[in-house]
């Protein structure tokens, strides 16, 4: 918002809250009164000339606290009408509360600013809706085609640009797309996954938002039955929302799970993929393959492995 031409020409100066300038602006609200908190929903940026702002220091500090309590993302004050200089008490309170407080040193056309920001917000919302429709169509088609779990997981990783894992309720890996980094992704998977689940539960309990380094985890379930979790490691943002992408993929996985013939279909398929990778030498090295086996619930560390080839009597094909 601060880079918009309508704002730049008014010579903005960020006084406080520089570390919070990445907060998303849901809407822009013009208000000249200090009693604005009951008129907003949260996520708004306040534009004001300060005509109705208090001049008493205690009232200014209280005003800043109430704005933060109403989840206002920032305040823009045009100097020259009520305040020739930034109000000191409000500035100090905003700094203490990490509230972005920006002053404009020249007269600004608030209507031009609100139109520019609202047009951008609406355009972003339309782009997000389109992206959600595309993701819904993608995973609906995969579900209708009966795509296997490992293929769906690979599509999630492609869309999000980050390693993705399908695990069962005991945190054993069923399918994985490690984006070429199997060793880093799968090493000590079970413990790392349990830790990530605990962190996610703590974020939910605190009512906070996941951080950029948090894993995105959604359950794979249907008809009251939960079979596992779809996990995406940290990666780039997606217009449809990373959680939404995983939720759509989880629906496709759940529908496929309902259509499976046996209760152990996922485990059997996972083991078939491992054997196929072994026979086809589709692994980066022994350590990488060992990590894949361990993550799938097949312990190999400190063990001696023997290979056995069996031939069915009367058949030329091995089994």
- Residue 6, phi then psi, degrees to nearest 5: -65, -25
CA 80 – CA 22 distance, rounded (Å): 28
Q: Where are the alpha helices (DSSP H) in the chain?
A: 5-8, 57-69, 88-97, 110-144, 149-160, 182-186, 189-206, 242-259, 265-279, 286-295
Nearby residues of 15 by Cβ (< 8 Å), 6 or more positions away: 86, 91, 94, 95, 101, 102, 103
CB neighbour burial string for 38-75, b if at least 16 within 10 angstroms, e if fewer: eebeeebbbbbbbeebbeeeeebbbbbeebbebebbbb
Tell me how far apart the alpha carbons of residues 201 and 195 are, in angstroms, rounded to a whole number.
Answer: 10
CA-wise closest residue to 292 among 150, 148, 146, 142: 150
Query: What pLDDT, on a 0 to 100 scale, did the predictor assign at position 316?
Result: 54
Domains in the chain: boundaries = 5-108, 146-295
Classify burial at 318, counting beta carbons within 10 Å of its beta carbon; exposed 0-12, middle 13-18, buried 19 or more.
exposed
Residue closest to 146 by CA, chosen among 230, 257, 225:
257
From 225, 160, 224, 167, select the one nearest 196 (Cα to Cα).
167
For 146-295, CATH gives: 3.30.450
At residue 105, φ and ψ (nearest 5 deg) are -90, -10
Alpha-carbon gap, residue 87 to 48, rounded angstroms: 13
Its CATH architecture, for the domain 5-108, is: 3-Layer(aba) Sandwich (3.40)
pLDDT, mean of each 10-residue run, the chain (319 residues): 92 95 91 87 93 93 94 95 93 96 94 90 90 94 90 94 93 87 81 91 74 86 90 90 94 87 71 78 72 80 80 63
87 burial type by CB count under 10 A (0-12 exposed, 13-18 middle, 19+ buried): buried
What pLDDT is recorded for position 261? 62
DSSP of 84-127: SS--HHHHHHHHHHT--EEEESS---HHHHHHHHHHHHHHHHHH
DSSP class of residue 313 equals T
Q: Encode 306-315: b = buried (16+ Cβ within 10 Å), e = exposed.
A: eeeeeeeeee
């Amino acid at each position: 918002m601060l880079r918009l031409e309508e704002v730049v020409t008014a010579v903005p100066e960020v006084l406080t809250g520089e570390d919070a300038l990445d907060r998303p602006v849901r809407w822009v609200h013009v208000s000249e009164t200090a009693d604005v908190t009951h008129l907003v929903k949260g996520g708004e940026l306040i534009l004001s000339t300060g005509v109705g702002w208090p001049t008493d220091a205690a009232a200014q500090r209280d005003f800043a606290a109430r704005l933060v309590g109403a989840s206002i993302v920032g305040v823009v004050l045009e100097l020259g009408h009520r305040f020739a200089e930034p109000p000191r008490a409000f500035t100090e309170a905003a700094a203490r509360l990490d509230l972005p407080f920006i002053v404009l040193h020249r007269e600004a056309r608030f209507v031009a600013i609100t139109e520019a920001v609202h047009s951008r917000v609406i355009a972003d919302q339309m782009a997000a809706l389109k992206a959600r429709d595309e993701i819904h169509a993608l995973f609906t088609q995969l579900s209708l085609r009966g795509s296997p779990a490992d293929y769906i997981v690979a599509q999630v990783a492609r869309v999000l640009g980050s390693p993705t894992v399908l695990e069962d309720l005991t945190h054993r890996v069923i399918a994985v797309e490690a984006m070429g980094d199997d060793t880093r992704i799968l090493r000590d998977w079970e413990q790392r996954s349990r830790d990530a689940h605990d962190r996610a539960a703590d974020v939910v309990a605190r009512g906070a938002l996941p951080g950029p380094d948090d894993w995105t985890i959604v359950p794979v379930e249907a008809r009251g039955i939960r079979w596992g979790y779809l996990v995406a490691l940290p990666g780039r943002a997606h217009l449809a929302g990373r959680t939404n992408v995983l939720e759509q993929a989880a629906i496709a996985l759940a529908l496929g799970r309902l259509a499976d013939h046996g209760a152990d279909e996922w485990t059997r398929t996972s083991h078939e993929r491992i054997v196929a990778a072994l026979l086809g030498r589709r692994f980066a090295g022994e350590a990488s393959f060992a990590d894949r086996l361990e993550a799938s619930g097949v312990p190999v560390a400190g063990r001696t492995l023997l290979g056995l080839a069996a031939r069915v009597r009367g058949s030329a094909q091995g089994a």
